[in-house]
Amino acid sequence: MPVVLKELTEAAARTRASTASASRATTSHTLVHGYDRVKQAARLETERGHALREAIFSCRNGGAVSIMGVYGGFVDKFPIGSVMNRSLTIKTGQAHVHRYLRPLLGRIETGEIDPSFVVSHHLPLDDAPKGYEMFKHKQDNCTKVVLKP
């Protein structure tokens, strides 16, 4: 990923990177991945930092990394040297939903945006345990479960 992005950014002004729920990133071929897995199994590290580290390493000098999703505690091996020496900007936060409600509802009303495309499954509330398992393991191409009480 970093190599491909480097090629893409050769002719571009800047790179912006954004991560969501990157704490659940699972794919990695790095030694750090093994380190994360061991520490998480022992509950000594609460986050999986692979996607976050990769987003930082991939971001071009002077670019911005926007971190969304959810992080609860601590991540190891955070590459602060890469952030500082390459003048990256990091911005993050739980969404300040209230300030987006009216403008985004307006866009839904005009038909400009229809977020319903993310829904893959509707289940009765009583099937919530099944919904969690399906969503966790991405069974049956599960992208989003809506429960109906």
Partner 1 sequence: MRATVWSGRNTVQVEQVPDPEILSDRDAIVKISSTAICGSDLRLYDGYVPSMTKGDILGHEFMGEVVEVGNGVGNLAIGDRVVVPFPIACGNCYMCVKGLTSVCENSNPNAGMAEKLWGHAGAGIFGYSSLTGGYAGGQAEYARVPFADVGPIKIENDDLTDDRVLFLSDIFPTGYMGAELCDIQRGDVIAVWAPGPSACSRSPARCCSAPSASSRSATSTTASTRHVRPVPPTSSTTSRSTCRSCSRS
Tracing tokens 């499954």 back to the chain, one arrives at 121
If one asks whether residue 81 binds partner 1 (CB under 8 A), the answer comes out as no
Q: What are phi and psi of 12, to 5 degrees?
A: -105, 165
How many residues touch partner 1 (CB under 8 A)? 81
Give least dist CB 73 to partner 1, A.
7
Looking at the Cβ atoms of 85 and 91, the one nearer to partner 1 is 91
Q: Judged by CB under 8 A, does residue 115 bind partner 1?
A: yes
Q: Is 7 exposed, middle or buried (0-12, 13-18, 19+ CB in 10 A)?
A: exposed
> Rule CB under 8 A: which of 27-66 touch partner 1?
27, 40, 46-47, 50-51, 54-55, 58, 60, 64, 66
**Is 73 an interacting residue with respect to partner 1 (CB under 8 A)?**
yes
Q: Which residue has the tokens 């829904």?
A: 119
Distance, in Å, from the CA atom of 112 to the CA atom of 120, rounded to the nearest integer, reads 21
Is 140 one of the binding residues for partner 1 (CB under 8 A)? no
